[in-house]
Amino acid sequence: MTALVDEAAALVNKAISPPDYRALVIIGGYGRGEGGVEIVDGDDRPHNNLDFLLIAETLRPKKLQALRESLMRALLPVMQQYEIEIDISVVSIWKLRMSPSLIIWYDMRFGHKTILGDANYVSALSRFRVDQIPTRDAIRLLVNRGTLLLINDQLLDQGNESIESRRRIIRNNMKAVIGYGDALLFFLGQYHWSYVERQSRMRSCDDVPKAFRSLYDEAAEFRLQPNYAHYQSRDLRACSTDLRNALEPIHRMCEIRRLGAAELQWDKYLDLVLRHAFSDEPLSARAWVRKGLHLTRRTNCSQELSARARLGCKVMGTKDRSQLVFPLLAYHLKEPKLQAFAAATLNVPPESSIETLREAYIRLWCEEIDINSLSDLRAWHVPVAQKNDKQCSSSS
């Protein structure tokens, strides 16, 4: 790993001028010093992708994209030589200065390794504190990781039983469990930037069902040292069903705490969340500016919603609206109002099948939330809906 990082730093140093960036850091598991290690033929191998983040001095989108493309070209020889994937992201230093305290920035502040540039910059971002993270960001974490279950649906529907396909499904399941557990830890006031510390805290959480604590502990152990052989003989479709049944109540537990509800059923979920859109982040001027901008844009809202719910739909950006679509697809719900809302949000015909909605949702997720995933899905031959320019024009 040291040799890989040293070579990557040398290549990036040649490809990008130092005045263009403040720092190049590794985040994620290896940035924390808690990256997974797989034993292959008796040798240790990195299990996860490496996550490189360039903190750029520019604010211009075209320049940011050019820097990312330069990084990708520079690091390609390293990926080929060491047979490891590297996820590459670029963020403007100005965006970091304006951003609220999100989970990704809190994790980055405490769990990173600086490869090039100012070694003290990220650690000094004292605004990024766990007690300042908005609750909607924890739900976003849950949904983002839960989307891997939808990708598993696509893989399972293909009927591909190759070893590599099964490995992907198993890995996605484990990531989803951890994402749900991390979100729940946040709502219980127990979130921490360290994977190992979160695992320890989950073991001690009496407020969490014992079965889920065991599931999270298993996934945490898998993250650090995966044992695929333990799962290869299992019926993955049956495992997928069992996992949904285990994760669905965890999602509801998180939403109940976020929304301040006494209970939550999915047939009431849409109206409850859309009404809550007005009071979300009540003290944040930035949030109200964002909501005001959303109101000026043309938004396709389901006509089955009440007038207040439609107004709530308008103040939400595409990312937040897509989170409301997720339960329908993840838990195979049969709620007509959610189906109508999903079709409107994803800009597909109202009579569209669940499979069509799922493909459109995954496309939106790749374009708006995880830009590194689209190329992976194409390589895995996962069906993804064609880009909908009208859909993307209203995103935020």
Identify the pLDDT of residue 320. 84
Q: How far apart are CA 312 and CA 305, in angstroms?
A: 10
- Summarised one tens digit per residue, pLDDT across range 67-101 is 999 999 999 999 999 989 899 999 999 999 999 99
Q: CB under 8 Å to 326, separation ≥6 — which residues?
A: 143, 146, 147, 361
Average pLDDT over residues 19-31: 96
Q: How far apart are CA 197 and CA 195, in angstroms?
A: 6
Place of tokens 């697809």: 329
List C-alpha distances in Å: 359 to 149, 299, 353, 389. 13, 21, 10, 15
Query: Is 271:306 a contact under the CB 8 Å cutoff?
Result: yes
Q: CB under 8 Å to 315, separation ≥6 — which residues?
A: 277, 278, 291, 294, 295
Q: CB under 8 Å to 202, separation ≥6 — which residues?
A: 181, 185, 190, 208, 213, 216, 217, 220
Q: CB under 8 Å to 334, separation ≥6 — which residues?
A: none
Identify the pLDDT of residue 394. 32
- Summarised one tens digit per residue, pLDDT across range 169-221 is 999 999 999 999 999 999 999 999 999 999 999 999 999 999 999 999 999 99
Q: CB under 8 Å to 270, separation ≥6 — which residues?
A: 305, 309, 324, 335, 337, 338, 341
CB neighbours of residue 396 within 10 Å: 14
User: Which of 35, 26, 124 has its CA nearest to residue 71?
Assistant: 26
- Summarised one tens digit per residue, pLDDT across range 120-160 is 999 999 999 999 999 989 999 999 999 999 999 999 988 87
- Summarised one tens digit per residue, pLDDT across range 245-286 is 999 999 999 999 999 999 999 999 998 898 888 777 655 666
The pair of structure tokens assigned to 38 is: 């797989």
The overall average pLDDT reported for the chain is: 88
Identify the pLDDT of residue 61. 93
Max mean pLDDT range (51-55, 306-310, 311-315): 51-55
CB neighbours of residue 289 within 10 Å: 10
Q: What share of the chain is helix, strand, coil (3-state, %, to 5)?
A: 60, 10, 30
User: Which of 267, 282, 278, 273 has its CA nearest to residue 340?
Assistant: 267
Question: What is the distance in angstroms between the CA of the first residue and the CA of the last residue of the chain?
Answer: 37
CB neighbours of residue 166 within 10 Å: 18
CATH numbers and ranges of domains, the chain: 2-132 (3.30.70.1350), 134-263 (1.20.120), 265-396 (no CATH)
Local structure of residue 36 (DSSP, 8 states): -
User: Does pTM surpass 0.75?
Assistant: yes
* Rounded (5°) CA angle 130-132-137: 80
- Max intra-chain CA distance, the chain: 63
